[in-house]
Amino acid sequence: MPIVTGTSPTAIREEQLARVPFFDGLTGEALTLIAEVTQEESHGLGTRIFKYGDPGDRLYIILEGKVRISRDVAGMGEEALAVLGPGEIFGEMALLDESTRSADALAHERCRLLVISKDAFDDLLFLHKDLAYEVLWSSVRMLTSRLRETNDKLTFLSTTGKF
């Protein structure tokens, strides 16, 4: 009887990463390197993943579910900045600029996340300069897209008098 082997955890993570727009254009080798340093986490509805001011020590990739990114505004309560779903990334800003968390992240519904620690991320980019270049440009594209969305929201708020 032949022995049937299952798909390796790294291969499964490579497939998951390949479906994330942030990693579009990365080579199979690059996806393998990233997959090897990921860990998986699950969070129940309402779980705080991190809070404003926490150390920025991990990047998160949503596999399933939704995550709400928000800030507490004095006198107003929680202000949702975004609700992110599968394939989206959050927590990357703190990895790039080594600052503390700029917002809270809460499980908006039960979710599964892939997590990359800052130390693993830094080591990976230091050892693989081609990968660092690819990740840099993916980061630039994502951050400029988010900046454009923020500009559109600010324009809307200022023209509707809700600012």
Domain ranges of the chain: 11-118+128-154
Which pairing describes strands 77-84 and 67-73: parallel, antiparallel, or unpaired? antiparallel
Q: What is the predicted pLDDT for the residue at 24?
A: 82
Given a contact cutoff of 8 angstroms between Cβ atoms, the answer to whether 105 and 90 are in contact is yes
Q: Helical H runs in 54-128?
A: 92-97, 118-127
Tens-digit pLDDT profile for the chain (163 aa)?
A: 444 445 788 889 999 999 888 888 788 888 999 999 999 999 999 999 999 999 999 999 999 999 999 998 888 888 888 999 999 999 988 777 888 999 999 999 999 999 999 999 899 989 998 888 888 888 788 888 878 888 887 887 778 766 5
What single letter denotes the amino acid at residue 106? L
pLDDT of residue 1: 45
Report, in angstroms and rounded to the nearest whole number, the Rg of the chain calculated over CA atoms: 18
- The structural architecture, per CATH, of the domain 11-118+128-154 is Sandwich (2.60)
Judged by DSSP in three states, 120 sits in: helix
**What pLDDT score does 163 carry?**
53
- Residues 133, 139, 145, 150: is their CA dihedral positive or negative? negative
pTM: 0.81
